[in-house]
Amino acid sequence: MKKLQLKKHVLTGIAYMIPVVVAGGICLGISRIFGGVDIQEGTIAAALEQIGNAAIGFTVPVIAAGIAYSIANRPGIAPGLAAGTLANVVGAGFLGGLAGGFIAGYFAWLAKTYIKPPKLIEGLMPVLVIPVLSTLAVGLVFMYLIGTPLAMIQQGMTDWLLSLQGESGFLMGAIIGGMRFDMGGPFAQAAGAFCDAMLTQGVYAPKAASMVSGMTPPVGVAIAVFLARKRFTKAEHEAAKTALPLGLCFITEGVFPFLASDPLRIVAACTAGSAISGGLAVIFGCLCPIPAGGVFAIPFITEPFLFVVAFLAGVAVTAGVLLLLKPNRSAAAEDTEEDYDFTIEFNTK
């Protein structure tokens, strides 16, 4: 029996979806730059908005097709696209795309594995028999079984997120930011996937929280190193030079060299800073229509100045907490490090 490998299939679908969201989100962002909030019909900004919305409309079919392809290879693409399109039609959105991708993929895989046709029509299996049967199956399941319940769940989630204001909005952003505690691990990936899902529904505040909280840890740790160099090793001094630009580009993994040597203090400081920056981004009304970019995405973000304020606040908290927790290094430790560096240099000559 085929292993489920649910995480692998979901990540494959997301990998195919991300470029579509990026293209659509940037078009929407550019349209806001030129057209403002009230975009006039017949303008370039209106055309860009239409292009962006069209691209965003493909995100659910693409993730469903990506999941189905990961499960069943090429025979899964057609039923996966059909499942994602039906998810949009019935209002099931991202959740419907996930469910439809798995249904289409596994049905196509079962058909490919267990249907043994005569040799005369064997060549028609991947282009006719499997896509048609799988599309019919997933379509009927959506129309009569899971479409409406998934649509209700999706709409309820979207309405709840849109209703969050003030303290509740800060809490949502802080939770999204706090889930960065594993620095790109499964919890951070889950938060990122949720925020990407909300992009497909036109809910952009969670992604603003996700992006600013993902930028915060590497930059905050790097600033702490620059402010108190004597508390860190020479290797960490060099790592800080790399972590700073990585953080600005929304690559949280820039903090890994520090995490390996001092996990408890780094996690505590980064979680605090990310929670603050994520929460502030939401209550400041920041909206991010694209899933990646870091500082390069700022021109496309609603309330860009306040987004930067939230980011700087999170960086300050991260650096401050880390400096409070980080002890001074002893002179013996510094001497040992210097001797060690000298020995390595001497032996390599």
Of the ranges 164-173, 240-249, 256-265, the best mean pLDDT one: 240-249
pLDDT of residue 6: 83
Cβ atoms of 79 and 102 within 8 Å: the answer is no
pLDDT of residue 342 exceeding 50: no
pLDDT of residue 277 exceeding 90: yes
Cα separation, 278 vs 271, in Å, equals 10
Percent of the chain past pLDDT 90, that is, above it, reads: 33
**Any idea which of 1-5, 60-64, 84-88, 269-273 has the lowest mean pLDDT?**
1-5
Give mean pLDDT, residues 238-248.
Answer: 90
Per-residue pLDDT tens digits for 126-169? 888 888 898 999 999 988 888 889 888 877 877 776 676 666 88
CB atoms within 10 A of CB 341: 13
Each domain of the chain, given as residue ranges in start order, spans: 6-163, 166-342
Conformational region of residue 40, where left means phi above 0, alpha means psi within -120 to 50, and beta covers everything else: beta
pLDDT of residue 4: 65
Which amino acid, 103?
I
Give mean pLDDT, residues 1-11.
Answer: 74
**Any idea which of 40-49, 150-159, 172-181 has the lowest mean pLDDT?**
150-159
pLDDT of residue 92: 84
pLDDT of residue 349 exceeding 80: no
Give mean pLDDT, residues 182-199.
Answer: 77
Structure tokens at 260: 């390996």
CB atoms within 10 A of CB 54: 12
Give mean pLDDT, residues 208-225.
Answer: 94
Per-residue pLDDT tens digits for 279-296? 999 999 999 988 878 888
| Three-state SS sequence of the chain | CCCCCHHHHHHHHHHHHHHHHHHHHHHHHHHHHHHCCCCCCCCHHHHHHHHHHHHHHCHHHHHHHHHHHHHHCHHHHHHHHHHHHHHHHHCCHHHHHHHHHHHHHHHHHHHHHHCCCCHHHHHHHHHHHHHHHHHHHHHHHHHHHHHHHHHHHHHHHHHHHHHCCHHHHHHHHHHHHHHHHHCCCHHHHHHHHHHHHHHHCCCCHHHHHHHHHHHHHHHHHHHHHHHCHHHCCHHHHHHHHHHHHHHHCCCHHHHHHHHHHCHHHHHHHHHHHHHHHHHHHHHCCCECCCCCCHHHHHHHCECHHHHHHHHHHHHHHHHHHHHHHCCCCCHHHHHHHHHHHHHHHHHHC
Give mean pLDDT, residues 68-80.
Answer: 92
pLDDT of residue 127: 82
pLDDT of residue 220 exceeding 50: yes
pLDDT of residue 305: 95
Structure tokens at 44: 């370039």
* Banded model confidence at residue 276, pLDDT cuts 50, 70, 90: very high
Give mean pLDDT, residues 198-202.
Answer: 79
pTM value > 0.85: no
pLDDT of residue 61: 93
Structure tokens at 7: 């995480």
The overall average pLDDT reported for the chain is 84
Query: Nearest 10 degrees: CA dihedral of 301, 305, 307, 313?
Result: 170
Per-residue pLDDT tens digits for 104-131? 999 999 988 888 888 777 778 888 888 8
pLDDT of residue 96 exceeding 50: yes
Give mean pLDDT, residues 201-205.
Answer: 84
